[in-house]
Amino acid sequence: MLPITNYLIPFAINFFATGIVYAGILFISGQFLPVQLATIYTTTNSLTRTAIAVLLLTAPANLLISYVYKNFPASIAGVTNIISVVIILTIIAVLIDNIRINTTIIISLVLAISACSFLLLNLTR
């Protein structure tokens, strides 16, 4: 069994990188900080925002994710990435779509994370 830091470090890096990737996607669509970045959204088209997002967000995030795959076993890197995506997408859905958090959402999220964690533990035995 690997020490807990062998799971937490790749998860933290993947979580941060996944957040950056989805911030870029939301920036391209004009949904990332819409009030604060309104001037940028009105003066640029989606192609320009895509170029900005790739250079400033997506490329660095992919470097972080590749760092995890390079320095940790693929089983840990992959599953911690999946857990990160599930959490980030849930947060985005709640914030962007103004979804009220309810018991079903929390239970579903806990079940998804538990299933991924169970998979991770079995892959690293």
pTM: 0.91
The whole-angstrom separation of Cα 26 and Cα 49 is 10
For the chain, the distance separating the N- and C-terminal CA atoms, rounded to the nearest angstrom, is 6
The whole-angstrom separation of Cα 104 and Cα 7 is 27
Which two tokens mark 47? Answer: 């192609």
Q: What is the total count of domains within the chain?
A: 1
pLDDT at position 106 over 60? yes
Length of the chain: 125
pLDDT at position 76 over 80? yes
pLDDT in tens, 42-57: 999 999 999 999 999 9
- Within 13 A of 20's CA, how many CA atoms are on the CB side? 21
For the beta carbon of residue 26, count every other beta carbon within 10 angstroms.
18
Which two tokens mark 90? Answer: 């849930």
Give the confidence band of 2 by pLDDT, cuts at 50, 70, 90.
Answer: low
Q: Are 80 and 4 in contact (CB under 8 A)?
A: no
Q: What is the extent of the structural domain holding 73? A: 5-123
Query: Does residue 83 sit in helix, strand or coil?
Result: helix
**Residue 65 CA: distances (Å) to CA of 41, 70, 98:** 28, 9, 29
